[in-house]
Amino acid sequence: MKLFDELKWRGLVDNVTSPDVEDAINNEQLTFYIGTDPTADSLHIGHYSSLLMAKRLQMHGHHPIMLVGGATGFIGDPKATGERNMLTPEVLQKNYDALHAQISKLWGFDMVNNLDWTKDITIIDFLRDYGKLFNVNYMINKETVKKRLDSGISYTEFSYMILQSLDFYTLYKTRNCTMQIGGQDQWGNITSGLELIRKKCGADVKCYGLTMPLITKADGTKFGKSESGTVWLDPKKTSPYELYQFLFNTEDTKVIEYLKKLTFLTKEEIDALEVSLNEEPHKREAQKALASQVVKDLHGEEGLDSALKITNALFRGSFAELNDAQKLEAVAQMDQIECPCGLMLEDVLIQTHIASSKREAREWIKGNSISINGNKVNDPQMLIAQGNCCVQDYMILRRGKKNYYCVKMKEQEN
């Protein structure tokens, strides 16, 4: 399978600006770029497919450039929902430094900052040298801008397209960068960049654009910073265990798509996992493979080992084998119920709504269905206090094999 065919099989090609893109990807060694703005101090899972796309191309002889938009971050790419909040220079610099360190550590890509070639352009030069080449009618017909016309869009965000076009033009002139890759929502910015290059350098210039489908959840919403429950690539913001659990809980309808887009597993390996998913979905082999591959690629064998250790400890109820940091990672992923200290176990079950009555609570306790921090308990009148916590103020109750409850103990008020 040729590289472009593999990219299509993986679902990584949404649109291309020329039929020549396929031949260029298969047979040339292109310099291309992917960009992101420093609007947060970490990349998230929504960026991951694009970064792997760059790595896939690099492995076949192409040269990736990662652009972190120190300039465009001041402006903000227009959203369909409304104006972005302006970030201060201090926050943008902090975010830029964090992204630079993260990308360098994980992928080692060649990196550039568009503030370097934008900061010294005067407003007069900007309008004469670049603004004059953009037709307003052309700009307002771009999909993202068009969606904002009724609600309104500031000139600041409207001009974002020109700034990003300037990036492509500058990288073409200075680095012989002939292709830009972005999400499907970047089509308008990419084609505008190509137009600027042709107007500045001639219509016969061979430059290309490729867009990728956005990674979405089963409900159709995309992964991103503006969505709830952001999954970060920084292990301090989303631990390896949290990432593992997030991916392990992928719906059956999405897991094969994610395996294609977020891992380097071969077609044969993914096809075998798809057979397992269809014939024995309860084993969740596809989800295990997805979670293991992504966590290992991002956080190494050590991160994967820790994630699996916490997962297995929760499954078996063997909390004693975890250190305090791992216990806190597990606790962070559980719904927490507050309960005062000094109650009998049967009353704790009622107070936390685990049991609906004392009779039910006693039956469960005496029937060896209740565990505290992995240890079976069978005394309904056992007093529960801070000493029963497994880490900090948290106690893990389990009913049966699958029902876990994280109880946060608090001192009784006088």
Q: Which positions make up the binding site for L-tyrosine?
A: 33, 160, 164
DSSP letter for 214, please: P
Binding site listing: 33, 160, 164, 225
Say how far apart CA 210 and CA 193 lie, in whole Å.
12
Among 226, 286, 276, residue whose Cα is nearest residue 254: 286
β-strand partners of 398: 371, 404
209: which strand partners? 180
Question: How many CB atoms lie under 10 A from the CB of residue 71?
Answer: 20
Beta bridge partners of 180: 33, 209
Q: What angle do CA 246, 257, 30 make, to 5 degrees?
A: 110
Q: What is the largest CA-CA distance in the chain?
A: 85
| Interior angle at CA 140, CA 18 and CA 136, nearest 5 | 95
User: CA distances (Å), 73 to each of 101, 222, 262, in order?
Assistant: 17, 20, 26
Q: At what angle do helices 187-201 and 160-175 cross, to 10 degrees?
A: 50
Whether 199 and 133 have beta carbons less than 8 Å apart is answered as yes
The annotation places the binding site for ATP at 225
Sheet holding 375-376, edge to edge: 336-340, 403-410, 394-399, 370-372, 375-376
The rounded distance, in Å, linking the Cα atoms of 178 and 174 is 11
CA–CA separation, 230 vs 217, rounded Å?
Answer: 12
With contact defined as beta carbons under 8 Å apart, do 78 and 153 qualify?
A: yes
Report residue 32: phi and psi, to 5°: -135, 165
